Amino acid sequence: MQANGGGSRGASNGGEDSVNFRLSPSSDLRIQKGDITRWSVDGSSDAIVNPANERMLGGGGADGAVHRTAGPELRAACYNVREVRPGVRCPTGEARITPGFRLPASHVIHTVGPIYDVANNPEALLRSAYRNSLRVAKENGIQYIAFPAISCGIFGYPFDEAATVAISTVREFANDFQEVHFVLFADDIYNVWLDKANELLQDE
């Protein structure tokens, strides 16, 4: 995909503006501004990724917004996920899946990104969060998946570094999904992601 001028632009469900990049002959990457809780494609084989905490019971930012929109059924489903140790249902870098309940998307994939200044190897953990989310999606027949910018809120991950990890990891799954979306609420994160996609995908 070429730099800025090569991406195809248009409106997209859940987003104000979107730019499309080709990952493979059968798969597209779409970067868009918008609210991930409003995103869906077909309501049956689509999933949004929730940047959760290890307890999986809701929190601030996008995590709280996902839980509010999905309704109390989501918290109940998360509560029923088996703890791997007391208070931890999804360790950092791993992923779990639940129904979407009142969300437009059919499923929610919960993953926990690293806290940048605390984790010993934040890049490896962030890559694992994306990779495991994609693996869980593939195992559950998801064809359309939407990510936020994992760890780029209060977890403090630098946007440029996070975008590199996110987009390069998505490329590993270029033949496994029809569409992979990044639905980004803030203009500054959207612009970093778009620049990084132009840089990393210009030869696709």
Provide the annotated active-site residues: 63
Q: In whole angstroms, what is the distance from residue 73 CA to residue 197 CA?
A: 36
Distance CA 184, CA 166 (A): 13
- Rounded Cα gap, residues 148 and 66, in angstroms: 11
SS (H, E, C) 95-128: EEEEECCCCCCCEEEEECCCCCCCCCCHHHHHHH
Judged on CB neighbours under 10 Å (0-12, 13-18, 19+), 82 is exposed
**Where do we find the tokens 């639940």?**
98
